[in-house]
Structure 1
Amino acid sequence: MSFYIGREASKLWKRICAETSTELKLLFENWKYLLGGLICQYIHGLAARGVHYFHRPGPILQDVGYYLLPELGIERAYISETVFTFIFASFVLWTFHPFILKNKKIYTVLLWCRVLAFLFGCQILRIITFYSTQLPGPNYHCREGSKFATLPLPDNILEVFVIIPRGVLYGCGDLIFSSHMIFSLVFVRTYQKYGTRRFIKQCAWLTVIIQSLLIIASRKHYTVDVVVAWYTVNLVVYFIDHKLPELPDRSSSALLLPVSKDSRVKEENHKLLNGNSVDQADWRSRTQTNGKVQELANVVHTEPAMNGQ
């Protein structure tokens, strides 16, 4: 038993080392995109903090969702944040599954470059929207009488560029449209395309729907903030996804780095010129799937007829 555990531990360690080496090579090639995406997240945080200076508390606007959904109250406002944290943490852990699991379908670095592009596109529209019109915040700390409803003017310019955790939790004014919905929808759509478990996909969409209702019931956003997020994020992701180059297919475990289409064509032409036939199994392993991973529930294994059988 100890020998079996030791052997499996050794295999796992070798897999982690090999995957780390591969991802580091991709990181050195794509670090500019990752850094740019992180800088965009910082800019979005600064914009959300900046609009808080312009926020003025006032009467809560009429909202259909507030009439239809019961108010959870400030003591149960943590429920929506808990659901969002679960979605966020689950997606982050899933993006690193190639380091441990055998079914390596994605490259972590390339996937995060894509996700950050989706987030940036949505957040740019969000910044333009909530700076265009400042609505009175419906959240409890944004209402009249709360000390967090307005921010005092900064003492110096450096204070404007510092993002503090309290500002993230007690922000006001950045309403249309919901940032929580941006992250959740981008993550779920990404797993919908590159994930392999149909049941998890269905649960993920159901969780996002529940989170939408909880955000409204917690009075953290108006219903319009959630509704606009649903169609805006989906449209932005759809547009950017078709503009970006598709992720390489990792169905062949022998490939450590993605091979470009030109290099594949040159290799196959070289074999034909030398009188060597192209292996049919090699063609099967390179079948393009347009970046979509087959769901495990729908995979059907077939073998071509060989030798007249």
Structure 2
Amino acid sequence: MWIAKQLWKRVCMETSVELKLLAEKWKLLLAGLICQYLHGLAAHGIHYLHRPGPTLQDLGFKILPELGKEKGYVSESLFSFIFLSFVLWTVHPFVCHSKRFYTVLIWRRILAFLVASQTLRIITFYSTQLPGPNYHCREGSKLARLPPPESVTEVLLINFPHGVIYGCGDLIFSSHMIFTLVFVITYHKYGSKRFIKLLAWVLAIIQSLIIVASRKHYTVDVVVAWYTVNLVVFFVDKKLPEMPDRSSGSQPLLPLSSKEKDGKFREDHHMLLNGNSVDTADRRQRVQVNSKHENGNQSHPDSAVNGL
């Protein structure tokens, strides 16, 4: 009962903090989500332009045997595992004591990486349309070509999720690898478990091979994704303000007393909302100076600290 009560307090405190961050950053988050829809709309649009043809010569196809239509779920299953595992990790600060980031801030960063990568992807697959190598994109398949849309609504709804799973033409470069690599790179930087970091990179390599073996993409689609996404994350990350590190203890994990809330918590929380980290050493120094001032031993140092 006591554990459940403490957990509930922790969840309530974290929710309060995240909601305040969301109130500050909601415009950027909303813009990132809208771009996800626009990316899906672009991928659906290229399907109308797709023309099936002979599968291009591909080194990966020669090396890796085709899994076939019956085992096409393997690639999607692995991607779903990676996706759900990462989402759960980004919300773990709501229940865990060990916290290194804020959920709102890290998703703001992730969406920035995704939008930049997907913008480049849209440019490339609209520049040159390649015949899809997947079984449903080959000549003779009813899904290889989409009939002209009968209404604007048909285009805007993008037939989710069927239209995403059975899309054709959005090849260079792989969207699955964009998400996978962004998630892996993000965990590599902000995660704390070395074993999971290593496992994440191994899963990314396995995902690459399975995508080619499933014939969902050509090998070039996967190769281009590996260096493009890494470069995009590298340069975009330098432009974004660094997130405050919560592992230093700058943010209380559980509700404080009313006096502490009115003082230290409000000051530190305001700094965090503005993207500034709180220096615990500086706080300790202020507490010591204020303590001496209250004891009447030193009054001048406190005046100096406050700029008086």
Normalised to the residue count of structure 2, the TM-score between the two structures is 0.84
Which digits, 9 at most, give the CA deviation of each residue in 1:269-298, with x for residues without a partner? Answer: 9969951499xxxxxxxxxxxxxxxxxxxx
| Correspondence 1:26 to 2:24 | no
Matches within 5 A, 1:127-142: 127-142=122-137
Matches within 5 A, 1:261-300: 261=276, 275-276=301-302
For the Cα contact (< 8 Å) 2:244–2:277, is it kept in 1? no
Matches within 5 A, 1:162-173: 162-164=157-159, 165-173=161-169
Mark the CA change 1:97 to 1:266 in structure 2 (over 3 Å): closer, same or farther: closer
Greater fraction of residues in helix? 2
Partner of 2:116: 121
Cα distance between partner residues in 2 of 1:274 and 1:224: 69
| Correspondence 1:107 to 2:102 | yes
| Percent of aligned pairs sharing the same letter | 64
Cα distance between partner residues in 1 of 2:178 and 2:197: 17
What amino acid sits opposite 1:49 in the alignment? H
Cα distance between partner residues in 1 of 2:60 and 2:5: 54
**Aligned residue pairs: how many?**
274
Choose which of 93, 96, 103 in structure 2 pairs with 1:98: 93
Is the partner of 1:147 in helix, strand or coil? coil
Choose which of 177, 196, 201 in structure 1 pairs with 2:197: 201
Cα distance between partner residues in 1 of 2:7 and 2:155: 46
| Correspondence 1:64 to 2:59 | yes
Q: Which runs of 5 or more structure 1 residues have no equivalent in the other structure?
A: 1-5, 279-309
Q: How many angstroms does 1:178 deviate by?
A: 0.1
* Cα-Cα RMSD: 2.5
Cα distance between partner residues in 2 of 1:216 and 1:269: 59
Partner of 1:297: none
Partner of 1:180: 176
Cα distance between partner residues in 2 of 1:212 and 1:240: 23
Moved over 2 A (4+): 253-257, 259-274
Is the partner of 2:119 in helix, strand or coil? helix
For the Cα contact (< 8 Å) 2:24–2:273, is it kept in 1? no
Cα distance between partner residues in 2 of 1:156 and 1:88: 33
Q: Which runs of 5 or more structure 2 residues have no equivalent in the other structure?
A: 253-264, 291-298
Q: How many angstroms does 1:230 deviate by?
A: 0.2
